[in-house]
Amino acid sequence: MKRINLKKYPKVKLIEQPSSIYHLKRISKAVGVDIYIKRDDLFPVGFSGNKLRKLEYLLGEAEKQKATHVFTVGAIQSNHARMTAIAAKMFGFEIELFLKKSVPVKEGSYFNNGNIILNNIVNATIHEVTDNEKAYRAIEERKLTIEKESGKVYVIPVGGSNALGTLGYVDCYFEIIKQQNDMRLQFDLIATASGSGGTHGGLVVGKTLSETKINIKAYNVEPDQGELALHTLKIANEALELCESKISLSASDTVVSNEYSGTAYGIPSDFHIDTIKFLAKNEGIFLDPVYTSKAFTGLLMDIQNNVIKKGEKVLYIHTGGMPGIFAYPQYF
């Protein structure tokens, strides 16, 4: 198995590797497929989650560029924005969040609980915007102001999902290979939620560079017509270039399920809430309403529909999002 050297890209220290892998014994017995869960939701920083792996590289680059401020974009209840805010404070950056009012909810908890409380506690500056276009326009205007005052801004994209951030999940893939070997397992499938493509793309790049054969599938958390798969392919190929690989991936390499995302981003359906309760009652593990519940629902439905065969071994990556539960009390 080939291993690429990523040490030329500076990193900050945010996580303790590896994250644990557990066998979901009761659920596996119930569905006839061995499901394991990788707990990227249990890292010790900022209520944790998958974005920390990306932020190690992104904040490493911000330090290299001697930035004074970090900006990023997300929805009002963005897990990525919350983790960026907390991690940025750990390394002395000023943090400004450009948060979109894009989720069609009116309940007060969505706007004043969950991740919003954590952003406020670390004193992140929050700018509310209506969409991505206005967010990036506001970023450019604010960036000019700060740089006129001798500051320097490092901008992190939605979800931390660019080629550099994606390297965090290249690392994760190699971590998984070592863990499965140590556990004397062979996973048939790695499954994950996907909203911006970086986690999925990094896993695909890791698989490609390691020349291993585990299938990788992402479950989209919002309806689309194939845009996420194409975006994932784009950043995966850009990440391969950072890894000095001449391999070029094709559309068949970035498999995305769009069937179980519900009606909109940030809006869970009844069956997503049922999945949260099912996993909690049977395994004592909590999913969130926006990402992980949708992906785990898709995984269970693929098993029910025989897309995933009886007897297969599946690794589900828990990407975090726990604070989001408290923004959706009306569902529980």
- What's the burial of 105, exposed, middle or buried (CB within 10 Å: 0-12/13-18/19+)? middle
CA torsion 125-78-255-164 (nearest 10°) is 30
Q: Beta strands 69-75 and 94-100: pairing type?
A: parallel
Q: 163-182 and 51-64 helices cross at what angle (nearest 10)?
A: 130
Nearest to 51 by CA among 317, 276, 330, 332: 317
Q: Is 248 a catalytic residue?
A: no
Task: Specify which residues 69 forms β-bridges with.
Answer: 94, 153
Task: Specify which residues 255 forms β-bridges with.
Answer: 217
Nearest to 205 by CA among 17, 53, 65: 53
CA angle 315, 317, 318 (to 5 degrees): 135
Catalytic residue among 19, 48, 78, 196: 78
The catalytic site residues sit at 78
